[in-house]
Amino acid sequence: MSERAVACVVGSSTVEWYRSGWGARDGVLNSVLSTDHPIEELAAIDWRPIPSFPENRGLDMQTTEIVYQIRPCGVDVFVPLWFGTGLFDPPAEPTEGVLVPVSSLSEVRHLRRSHRGLKAEILDAVSEGMNPASAHALSQQVSALVRTVAVQFRRMASIYT
């Protein structure tokens, strides 16, 4: 199984999208997050253009491991978290999630581990009798909370850039 990444390259008047089957490997992430020249590290990866990114559909949170936002002033790295579990009717869309900014490989690992643990808790609660609709509502509340925290992190980061 590959470790898929998506790169959003933002120019002064353009936005281009690319994907890589191996752009989310730990070695790549560590190189990008720990260097003063992350764009050079990303340039060494095999990227394929996404000809017409479905702006109206959004990013597939289920199949993307990492999102890079590349701008003239630098690179931001995000971990997509999908809040679906496969238990609900109708099922959560693959775009139902949030992008959380990260700044180190250990942060990426911790975030992924915590997210898997949260989803496991929700699945356990359902298997022990919690109403799937209540579990879905809980999942939605957690998604909103994470979205709020992610926005706060981005605002704080913008103070220093």
| Residue position matching structure tokens 């909103």 | 144
* Mean pLDDT (whole number) for 76-105: 75
> How buried is 142 (Cβ within 10 angstroms: 0-12 exposed, 13-18 middle, 19+ buried)?
middle
* Inter-residue contact 5 to 64 (CB < 8 Å): yes
Instruction: Say which DSSP state 104 is in.
Output: S
pLDDT category, 31, cuts 50, 70, 90? very high
* Mean pLDDT (whole number) for 95-110: 84
SS3 75: strand
- Between CA 8 and CA 48 the distance in angstroms is 12
- Of 61, 116, 120, 65, nearest in space to 94 by CA: 61
Of residues 118 and 91, more confidence is placed in: 118
* Inter-residue contact 3 to 22 (CB < 8 Å): yes
Residues 9-20: pLDDT tens digits?
Answer: 998 888 889 999
Of residues 155 and 113, more confidence is placed in: 113
- Between CA 161 and CA 147 the distance in angstroms is 21
